[in-house]
Amino acid sequence: MSLQENQGFNTRAVHAGQAFEPRTGAVVPPLHFSSTYAQDGIGNLRGGYEYGRGGNPTRDALQEQLAALELGTHAYSFSSGLAAEDALIRALTRPGDHIVLGNDAYGGTYRLISRVLGDWGIGNTPVDMANLDTVRSAVAANKTRFVWVETPSNPLMKITDIAALADIAHDAGALLVVDNTFASPYLQNPLALGADVVVHSTTKYIGGHSDVVGGAVVVKDAELAEKIGFVQFAVGAVSGPMDAFLTTRGLKTLGVRMDRHSENGQAVAEWLLERPEVEAVLYPGLPSHPGHELASKQMRSFGGMVSVQFKGGEAAARKVAESTSVFTLAESLGGIESLMNYPSEMTHASVKGTELAVPVNLLRLSCGIEDKEDLVADLEQAFSAIP
């Protein structure tokens, strides 16, 4: 089928970049492993394909699908989320440029910007993105090239107004980059709200099955696209064909999975809210969450990520993390299986002792697509282990 612009998310997810193979009619486009392509005479390429780092049909199919779902014009797929971020930053910044990012940004993003790219002259200021006045003055204080936000943020689940942030960035001649990993393109489309660049760790909801590591950059501007595409080609941290294939397969079911993730996240958050052991539940689907109204406007629903803080401090959080059986204690998120993570020693260990450190009484839950009754029952038995 040919894809039309007004088609719904799920139709685009299933069909964008996924035309059947013309020779055999194979409904699923074949997985192309070839590292090189035959030329019909020197420089006479078939369909523009020359060498696997520069182009691969399986990767192109994923990139087309990603662009269609993020409402962008171009998407570039990489071997990891951090490889995508690195390519983006190297493509569009130069020594002396500055990045203003959320003070609860993903630890690996902060590590890349501060400890790798810092040595190449890229400055950074972490700020509370929910406080727009603070953002505005941090942007003005330096030669800011990027405002970089995650919303919902990881793991504090703060919600930031993407449209307002885009205005702040653009007024200062900067670009707004949104890490849309937590929401996924099904729940939120930052480019439509004014952002210039979307980055993803496709390892999480987009792949969705915890079986592939990958990343992507999506833009809606041809000039930015050309620069990012050049770094993808010239540096070469591309996704391999098998990774691209698995990511495409996951992305086709993103909508149905996210509906269930959101339903389960809401149920778990509401259950946690009633528990006496709990100090705070951080979930934008709760009316008590400070970002609830904003999230209702800029997101389709609230997703499967829930953070919880315990009155019993670090000991209680650690006990629960080590007492579940449906939730698996593991890094990462966004897969069909529920995961539990203790950020201060796991995903965010790299920012321990910095401004970005995560409270030690906090657990982050990635609610999978299992039955919500079983998730709640698992938490209930784990809570009974708290001393």
For residues 182 and 152, the answer to whether their CB atoms sit within 8 Å is yes
Residue 354 Cβ vs ligand PLP, minimum distance, rounded to whole Å:
17
Residue 108 Cβ vs ligand PLP, minimum distance, rounded to whole Å:
5
Residue 211 Cβ vs ligand PLP, minimum distance, rounded to whole Å:
13
* Residues at the contact surface with ligand PLP, assessed by CB under 6 A: 80-82, 106, 108-109, 150, 154, 179, 181-182, 201, 203-204, 213, 215
Name the closest residue to ligand PLP (Cβ): 81
Cβ proximity to ligand PLP, 191 vs 316, nearer residue: 191
H/E stretch holding 108 reads helix 107-111
At residue 356, what is the residue type? L
Length of the chain: 387
For residues 349 and 241, the answer to whether their CB atoms sit within 8 Å is no
Active-site residues: which are they? 53, 106, 179, 204
Give 172-207 as a DSSP string.
TT-EEEEE-TTTHHHH--GGGGT-SEEEEETTTTTT
| Residue 98 token pair | 């500055």
CA distances from 344 to 107, 317, 332, 341, 357 (A): 10, 11, 14, 9, 7
Three-state SS at 269? helix
Cβ proximity to ligand PLP, 181 vs 323, nearer residue: 181
For residues 286 and 273, the answer to whether their CB atoms sit within 8 Å is yes
Residue 184 Cβ vs ligand PLP, minimum distance, rounded to whole Å:
11
Residue 347 Cβ vs ligand PLP, minimum distance, rounded to whole Å:
8
Report the candidate in 342, 354, 320 with the shortest Cα–Cα distance to residue 111. 354
The owner of tokens 């996951």 is: 250
How many angstroms separate the CA atoms of 265 and 375, rounded?
10
